[in-house]
Amino acid sequence: MPPTLTGSNDAAWMAKKRTAALELLPTLAMPSEREENWRYLDLSFDPDLDSAPSTPGVASSDAIVAGWHGTVVTIVDGFIVTDGVQSIGERNEETVSVDGDDLFSTAFVAYAPGTAYLGKELLTQPVFVDIQSTSTATTFPGVHVDVAPGSDATVVVRMSSNSDQPAVTVPRVTANVGDNARLTLSIIQDWNYATRAIGRCTIRLGRDSGLAFSEIGLGGKVGRLHLDVDYIGDGSHAKIYGAYFGEGNQTLDYRYFMNHIGTNTRADMFLKGAVADTALSVFTGMIRIEETGQRTESFETNRNLILSEGAAAQSVPNLEILNNDVKCGHGSSIGPLDEDQRYYLMSRGLTPEHADRLQVHGFFEEVVEQIPDEHVAAWARERINNKYIVAQQEGRV
């Protein structure tokens, strides 16, 4: 594959954005743990942002890719390596806002070699986006989904490392869902345990549009996902599900923001997670209802299992309501496996180990069964269950 010069194919609008980001970048510092949006996250590392590679590494394949039933788009070290897939920066019109508001998002604008554009030509069948990191370089993979009005689209984005080397990656996923359109979007974070991933996802919903969003968080030394869903159009609605399992010294960090702008919008956010060893999970959820968001219905729930004495979870659901014609609620819980449930299952003939496995399976199944794509749900179910069984066999839980 010939050398690739980042930005060499940029349209005028993208070149302007990239130049501004490169000028701004030296003035920005690493985010601070004193900032609420970065609280609980260990930021004592060098992101080495300008180490971004000039060419992609070698892609690999595995069972989840081989068994996919639609189109596969492969992105390696931030580069689109699938023929016929356009970058948003090559398009004449500005497809989505790509401005940065912190060090990492600004670096993405400056250094990302190309954000894959998934428009109506590719979305006629389900799309699997296979994002891979192959080296110790800092990479900037990006995906944009553009769902035309009145249409349906299914996209799965899997992020993984095909080496065991430490790395930093700054993935970004964006989507515009047109009026009366539907998007089913799943994100899987399956990095190696030495990768720090600072991810961001922004989704904008048009009038009467719908979103089914699910996220599976398994990998990464740091696995962060900042999600913004903007309910711009009247009648827009979403169901958001997440399942995550941290072990070792992992930190899995979720910042989910539901921004209700139109009238008659609805949101249901439900995340479940478990942590073992000395892992930490963080959930900050925000439901914000603007003055224009009359007759909004929005709910957020986060449940956490603590499986080892040294593990910890932080759960902070929030509401910000600027008008009084709404229905909202939030809830969270943090605790160990249920002793009464264990006793009941043992009274039915199960060993303590198998009783606990059944509890963990049931805990996550409430979320996993909601993943719209059966292929992804089966993969997630097996990975989560096996992760707990191995920890149990090694005496870590």
Q: DSSP for 177-226?
A: E-TT-EEEEEEEEE--TTEEEEEEEEEEE-TT-EEEEEEEE---SEEEEE
The mean per-residue pLDDT over the stretch 326-352 comes to 96
pLDDT higher than threshold 90 for residue 376: no
3-state secondary structure of 30: coil
The mean per-residue pLDDT over the stretch 40-66 comes to 89
pLDDT higher than threshold 80 for residue 338: yes
pLDDT higher than threshold 80 for residue 92: yes
pLDDT higher than threshold 90 for residue 9: no
Taking all residues of the chain, what is their mean pLDDT, rounded to a whole number?
94
pLDDT higher than threshold 70 for residue 97: no
pLDDT tens, residue by residue, 118-153: 999 999 999 999 999 998 999 999 999 999 999 999
**What was the pLDDT predicted at 99?**
66
The mean per-residue pLDDT over the stretch 201-222 comes to 97
3-state secondary structure of 54: coil
- Cα–chain center distance at 204: 15
Percentage above 70 pLDDT, the chain: 97
**What was the pLDDT predicted at 335?**
97
Closest CA to 260 of 240, 283, 237: 237
**What was the pLDDT predicted at 2?**
39
The mean per-residue pLDDT over the stretch 166-183 comes to 97
Q: For the whole model, what pTM was predicted?
A: 0.95
The mean per-residue pLDDT over the stretch 296-307 comes to 98
- Cα–chain center distance at 257: 13
